[in-house]
Amino acid sequence: MNHRRVSTTAAALLAASAGLFSSCARRQTAEVNPIEPSFAISRPRAPLNSAVEITYTWKADPEAKKLGQDYRALVHFLDSHNVMLFDDDHVPEPPPTGWEPGKTYSYTRTKFIPIYPYVGDVEVRMGLYPPSGKGERVMLKGTDANGMREFKVGKIELLPQTENIFLVYKEGWHGTEVSPQNPSVERMWTKKEALVSFKNPKRDVVVYLEADTNFKAFQQQPVLTLGVGGGSGVQVPIDSSEVFLKKVRFKAEQLGNDEWVDLRLMMNQSFVPKTLGINSDERELGLLVYHLYVGEADKLGQPLPAQIVDAAALPTATASSSKASAPAKPAPAAKGKV
């Protein structure tokens, strides 16, 4: 054995460790900008694959210093072994460059909890990091969990997915696919009309729908009708290709008395990408769905979801429509989502 080499290696490791310790110490002793993060969740015990409302708060003490760039909010959810399960990183509202000392800023976001092979306690951490992803995070007021400027703000408990209302996807759906930009994002295209069913809870429910479509592929403004079999629902005009989120409350009496409820997603038209010269896809497409969740209203916790729309009686022609009309006719090539 080469003892000299071992000794040299050990010295190098010791020096590296000392440098790492010094770096961590510098992180820990950095001047605190007294801005305190906190969060509140609509229900601290939430099933996997459900939707929750999270209120984020940033309280700036009178001594807080103005932030020179629009930092992004770091929000990490970690399991009992401190392994990150998912995040809700985002741009705070308003952006941090607009924050004033002595003021508090709060806003609420909807989060769809992913499906993971894990149930139990989850620790939530918050922080602020540069928009470029490079550079120092802000040393905030609070308990730094790991010396990396991630601050403990609370805990939630993840419950089994079986706690949710189970959805049965019937006709009108194409297979699940992943986003080319983010392989962790799954989505499904509908045809012009799609049907999903769920067991009737005989209680008020809120339907969450997060979706988009290729706006430019339609000859006229696309309109989505979301309704149940009894003829109640809402109509949603779509004015861009951006992702939108709708939350619709259906009263128990609107769901009817049958054991199962049919929920229909009906577009006023559809398109075939190949026909329009977009690509070689020959499928009839209507709406691109990222999340579809149905929750009992009295189990969604507080605060109740913002921007809920109450379902109402649909026009007779719309409510009774179940025949798929022809897809959009050929038009100049439409760029955008497939």
| pLDDT value at residue 10 | 37
The token duo for 144 is 């730094």
Average pLDDT over residues 14-42: 65
Task: Between 330 and 50, name the one with better pLDDT.
Answer: 50
Domain with CATH 2.60.120 in the chain: 165-320
| pLDDT value at residue 317 | 61
Average pLDDT over residues 67-92: 97
Position 1 pLDDT exceeds 60: no
Position 210 pLDDT exceeds 70: yes
Average pLDDT over residues 306-329: 69
| pLDDT value at residue 338 | 67
Q: Percent of the chain, pLDDT > 70?
A: 85
CATH pick for 165-320 out of 2.60.40, 1.25.40, 2.60.120, 3.30.70: 2.60.120
Domain with CATH 2.70.50.60 in the chain: 32-161
Average pLDDT over residues 178-182: 84
Beta strands in the chain (DSSP E): 35-41, 45-47, 51-60, 72-78, 84-87, 104-112, 120-129, 151-159, 167-169, 173-178, 186-190, 193-199, 205-212, 223-228, 232-237, 244-250, 260-267, 288-296, 308-310, 312-313
Cα dihedral sign, 260-261-262-265 = negative
Position 20 pLDDT exceeds 70: no
The token duo for 186 is 């799954």
149, 175 in Cβ contact below 8 A? no
Which band of pLDDT confidence, cut at 50, 70 and 90, is reported for residue 21? very low
Which band of pLDDT confidence, cut at 50, 70 and 90, is reported for residue 11? very low
Fold (topology level) of 32-161:
Coagulation Factor XIII; Chain A, domain 1 (2.70.50)
Task: Dump the DSSP string for 182-210.
Answer: -TT-EEEEE-SEEEEEEE--SS-EEEEEE
| pLDDT value at residue 182 | 81
Q: Percent of the chain, pLDDT > 90?
A: 78
In this predicted model, what pLDDT tens digit does every residue of 238-262 receive, in sequence order? 999 999 999 999 999 999 999 999 9
240, 295 in Cβ contact below 8 A? no
Contacts (Cβ under 8 Å, ≥6 apart) of 134:
none
Task: Between 78 and 7, name the one with better pLDDT.
Answer: 78
Give the DSSP letter of residue 238: -
Average pLDDT over residues 313-326: 62
Position 79 pLDDT exceeds 80: yes
Average pLDDT over residues 40-52: 96
| pLDDT value at residue 230 | 76
Strand order, beta sheet including 288-296: 173-178, 186-190, 288-296, 205-212, 244-250, 308-310
Looking at residue 36, its amino acid is: E
| pLDDT value at residue 145 | 95
The token duo for 18 is 């000392």
Which band of pLDDT confidence, cut at 50, 70 and 90, is reported for residue 281? very high
Task: Between 225 and 328, name the one with better pLDDT.
Answer: 225
How far apart are alpha carbons 258 and 252 in whole angstroms? 11
Average pLDDT over residues 43-57: 97
Position 313 pLDDT exceeds 80: yes
Of 23-37, 133-147, 226-240, 243-257, least confident by mean pLDDT is 23-37
| Mean pLDDT computed over every residue of the chain | 88
Average pLDDT over residues 306-326: 72
